[in-house]
Amino acid sequence: MTEHHDDFDFEPVRGLPQNLPKGERMLWQGAPRWQDLAVHAFHVRKVIWYFAGLTLLAGALRYAEGEGLAYAARPFQWLMPMGLVAAALLSGLAYLSARTTVYTITTRRVVMRIGMALPVTLNLPFSQVDGASLRIHGNGSGDIPLKVTKKERIAYLLLWPHARPFKFAHPEPCLRCVPGADDVASLLAAALTGTATTPLARQARDHRPSKASQPVAA
């Protein structure tokens, strides 16, 4: 018989370090879509294009030297494999990151269990959240950055890749590459204003995705 081992068996509730207090209910729980995380957080697509451009440039320069096609094609034999290996490694990191991440929205807080080698749980009561915004990707997944109060500064390196890109001075925790982000953002907005009562799984999903970044709540 094969035994199943879960690295997070110590959690009383998946993604939470302890049971929710009486009167607090879970509204939604999810994780990043690893393929989108690979593209938008680990920049796999940009890495592939970089190595492709570098390979073409090296080949063109060699060909311009007049040594023939065989000499010009040599960069394709080692530069492109290097690019594919780099993309594969980054994709693997994105997969592990998504697999070990759990985002939770309750009626009182946002909880983020993040970290691959050393998991940490970030607890953000709504009293520490000044607002949130939404950025939708082409396939409907998206990022939901959380603007926390000034006194609750969190280290960017601790959050990454679950942080709003390039917000170094005042890092913003971010629910990255969440499927159905429009619905999740609407639920979060309702939760922040105290009007969310129904878990997302039971709510109608009639929101149309938009690629523009937009505020969720303030």
Q: C-alpha 208: how far from its chain's center?
A: 21
Q: pLDDT averaged over the chain?
A: 84
Fold of 26-32+100-217: PH-domain like (2.30.29)
Q: Is the CB of residue 139 less than 8 Å from the CB of residue 218?
A: no
DSSP letter at 167 equals -
Element (H, E) at 162: none
- Is the four-CA dihedral 66, 72, 75, 77 of positive or negative sign? negative
| Distance from C-alpha of 165 to C-alpha of 105, rounded to nearest angstrom | 22
| Distance from C-alpha of 174 to C-alpha of 56, rounded to nearest angstrom | 37
SS3 for 12-39 is CECCECCCCCCCCCEEEEECCCHHHHHH
Q: Is the CB of residue 120 less than 8 Å from the CB of residue 131?
A: no
Per-10-residue mean pLDDT for the chain, 218 residues long? Answer: 45 83 93 96 95 88 75 80 94 96 95 91 93 92 92 87 92 95 94 78 43 54
Q: Is the CB of residue 183 less than 8 Å from the CB of residue 207?
A: yes
| Distance from C-alpha of 56 to C-alpha of 23, rounded to nearest angstrom | 61
Q: Within the chain, where are the H helices?
A: 34-40, 44-64, 69-72, 74-99, 156-159, 181-192
Question: pLDDT tens for residues 85-98?
Answer: 999 999 999 999 99
Query: Vertex 118, ends 113 and 120: CA angle to 5°?
Result: 30
- Residue 4 confidence (pLDDT): 35
Question: pLDDT tens for residues 63-113?
Answer: 777 767 777 777 788 888 899 999 999 999 999 999 999 999 999 999 999
- Asked if the bond preceding 125 is cis, omega within 30° of 0, the reply is no
Q: Is the CB of residue 122 less than 8 Å from the CB of residue 173?
A: yes
- Residue 14 confidence (pLDDT): 85
- Residue 205 confidence (pLDDT): 41
